[in-house]
């Protein structure tokens, strides 16, 4: 039997789950409170093969009865981002936070799905990362493009999503048979200063391998750097093979912790 489930309840569920994570792990925790947006499945999602990847899945490929897409963003704490800003290589904690956040994303997605199931609504989950074609480097399920479509954030020049809590963090998503409606979070047409016609470009200057320009991201150059970091950094040796991180273009930028473009 179905009972009502609101986006406020889902947001509270996500916040409580992330808040409890440090206690669960016996660590201080890397995270600020998460953001969560939802959207009804409509013609917007037909744009995914055009804007993301030609073989991008439609939400109903994951769950034929899906009515809503849910995307959440787990922002990192400032101290972690600050630590990762130093030098040209990522710090050990950045790698650890990546690994732990991927795991958290999986369990948070499951917790949200369980909550929806209690109300009678099935959901389908997707992995946090490495669901992409390494040659094309485009995800068949792109959390970033979904987050953009449902207005959780806007793309920055660094090709990350800038949300009201900034860009330094990680995204996760699921689809559900619950009809949750549209609950966007970003209010400005752009959230990147450069794209909004203002002066910035700090992420371009911060990239250690010149993978960024005002025109976009050189994916292959960025990906090579992420792989090289994993393969060569001594203090990454015991982290999983999939610990592909850098994060310099998100470290202490005007868009790291907030949307720097003022609301109209
Ligand atoms: S650092 Fe500046 S140019 Fe780069 S994404 Fe952020 S706001 Fe845009
Ligand atoms: S993640 Fe690193 S290599 Fe990739 S664009 Fe950002 S700064 Fe450059």
What distance in Å separates the CA atoms of residue 154 and residue 187, rounded to the nearest whole number?
10
Distance 8 CA to ligand 2 centre (A): 35
CB of 108 within 6 A of ligand 2: the answer is no
Listing DSSP states for the chain in one string gives ------HHHHHHHHHHHHHHHHHHHTS--SBPPPEEEEEE-SGGGGGHHHHT-TTPPPHHHH-TT--EEEEEEEEBPHHHHHHHHSSSS--HHHHHHHHHHHHHHHHHHHHHHHHHHHTT--EEE--SS--EETTTTEESS-HHHHHHHTTS-EE-TTSSEEBTTBSSEEEEEEEESS----B----SS--STTTTTSS--HHHHH-TT--EETTEE-HHHHHHHHHHHHHH-GGGTTS-TT-----GGGSS-TTSSS--SPP-
| Domain-located, residue 243 | yes
* Among protein residues, the one whose CA lies closest to atom 6 of ligand 1: 255
pLDDT tens digit string along 61-76?
Answer: 889 999 999 999 999 9
Distance 165 CA to ligand 1 centre (A): 14
**b/e sequence 46-56, b meaning 16+ C-beta within 10 Å:** eebeeebbeeb
Closest-lying ligand 2 atom to the alpha carbon of residue 206: 7
In this structure, what are the phi and psi dihedrals at residue 252, rounded to the nearest 5 degrees? Answer: 55, 45
Angle between helices 92-118 and 7-25 (to 10 degrees): 130
| Total domains present in the chain | 1
Whole domain around residue 32: which residue ranges?
A: 7-250
Distance 101 CA to ligand 1 centre (A): 23
| Domain-located, residue 255 | no
Question: 161 pLDDT band (50/70/90 cuts)?
Answer: very high
Whether residue 37 is predicted with pLDDT greater than 70 in this model: the reply is yes
**What pLDDT was estimated at residue 133?**
58
| Domain-located, residue 126 | yes
| Domain-located, residue 60 | yes
Section 214-229 average pLDDT: 94
Indicate the average pLDDT of the chain: 93
**What pLDDT was estimated at residue 19?**
96
| Domain-located, residue 153 | yes
| Domain-located, residue 259 | no
| Domain-located, residue 198 | yes
More confident call, 89 vs 137: 89
Token pair, residue 180, equals 């949750």
CB of 192 within 6 A of ligand 1: the answer is yes
Q: Considering only CA atoms, which of 210, 206, 140 is closest in space to residue 173?
A: 140
Token pair, residue 236, equals 């990454």
CB of 161 within 6 A of ligand 1: the answer is no
**What pLDDT was estimated at residue 109?**
96
Whether residue 136 is predicted with pLDDT greater than 60 in this model: the reply is no
Distance 258 CA to ligand 2 centre (A): 19
**What pLDDT was estimated at residue 4?**
82
Question: 162 pLDDT band (50/70/90 cuts)?
Answer: very high
More confident call, 225 vs 134: 225
Whether residue 84 is predicted with pLDDT greater than 60 in this model: the reply is yes
**What pLDDT was estimated at residue 132?**
55
| Domain-located, residue 158 | yes
pLDDT tens digit string along 163-198?
Answer: 999 999 999 999 999 999 999 999 999 999 999 999
């Amino acid at each position: 039997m179905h009972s009502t489930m609101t986006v406020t309840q889902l947001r509270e569920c996500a916040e409580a789950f992330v808040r409890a994570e440090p206690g669960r792990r016996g660590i201080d925790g890397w995270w600020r409170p998460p953001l969560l947006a939802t959207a009804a499945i409509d013609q917007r999602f037909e744009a995914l093969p055009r804007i993301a990847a030609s073989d991008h899945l439609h939400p109903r490929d994951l769950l034929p009865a899906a009515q809503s897409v849910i995307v959440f963003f787990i922002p990192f704490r400032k101290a972690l981002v600050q630590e990762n800003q130093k030098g040209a290589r990522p710090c050990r904690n950045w790698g650890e936070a990546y690994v732990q956040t991927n795991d958290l994303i999986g369990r948070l997605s499951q917790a949200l799905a369980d909550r929806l199931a209690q109300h009678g609504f099935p959901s389908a989950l997707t992995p946090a990362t490495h669901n992409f074609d390494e040659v094309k480097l485009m995800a068949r399920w792109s959390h970033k493009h979904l987050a953009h479509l449902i207005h959780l954030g806007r793309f920055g020049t660094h090709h990350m999503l800038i949300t009201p809590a900034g860009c330094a963090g990680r995204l996760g998503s699921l689809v559900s048979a619950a009809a949750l409606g549209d609950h966007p979070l970003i209010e400005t047409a752009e959230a990147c200063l450069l794209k909004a016609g203002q002066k910035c470009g700090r992420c371009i200057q911060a990239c250690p391998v010149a993978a960024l320009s005002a025109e976009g991201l050189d994916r292959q150059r960025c990906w090579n750097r992420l792989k090289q970091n994993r393969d060569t950094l001594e203090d990454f040796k015991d982290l999983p093979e999939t610990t592909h991180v850098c994060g310099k273009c998100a470290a202490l930028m005007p868009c790291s912790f907030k949307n720097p473009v003022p609301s109209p």
